[in-house]
């Protein structure tokens, strides 16, 4: 029996959860699904400039797990960009920091800047 997946701490849900070519209808064939935890790894490492170790502490998971999540997220982003597919951010094993009720104060936490809260989903 495999070990259950550990929940990943996410500080902010994306303001927009769909991105795609302006003149293309969305279908299952031209859609890439990215998990919220993958989005958070991209946000922390590429946008906030955190190292993988700092990202791991923020998300409360192992650095090797961050590396795996980050690698998969970048592949999905590249697939969506290069092949002109829709990128949809949804799902994954995550919990919002402070149970979605406030700003946790950690470096890279997006709660202070995030306009979209979990109850909007």
Cut 0.75: pTM above it: yes
Q: What is the mean pLDDT of each run of 10 residues along the chain (121 residues)?
A: 83 88 88 95 94 93 95 97 95 76 56 45 37
- Which pLDDT value is given to residue 120? 38
Neighbour-count burial of 80, counting CB atoms closer than 10 A to its CB (0-12 exposed, 13-18 middle, 19+ buried): buried
- Which pLDDT value is given to residue 105? 56
- Which pLDDT value is given to residue 24? 84
Domains of the chain, earliest start first? 1-8+27-103 (1.10.10)
- Which pLDDT value is given to residue 116? 42
Token pair 């650095």: residue: 63
- Which pLDDT value is given to residue 118? 39
User: Rounded distance, CA 86 to CA 106, Å?
Assistant: 32
């Amino acid at each position: 029996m495999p070990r259950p997946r550990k929940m990943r701490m996410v500080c902010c849900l994306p303001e927009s959860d769909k991105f795609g070519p302006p003149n293309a209808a969305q279908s299952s064939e031209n859609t890439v699904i990215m998990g919220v935890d993958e989005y958070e790894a991209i946000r922390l490492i590429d946008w906030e400039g955190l190292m993988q170790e700092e990202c791991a502490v923020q998300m409360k998971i192992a650095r090797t797990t961050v590396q795996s999540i980050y690698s998969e997220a970048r592949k999905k982003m590249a697939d969506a960009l290069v092949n002109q597919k829709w990128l949809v951010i949804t799902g994954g094993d995550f919990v919002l920091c402070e149970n979605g009720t406030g700003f946790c104060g950690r470096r890279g936490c997006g709660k202070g800047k995030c306009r979209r809260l979990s109850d909007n989903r």
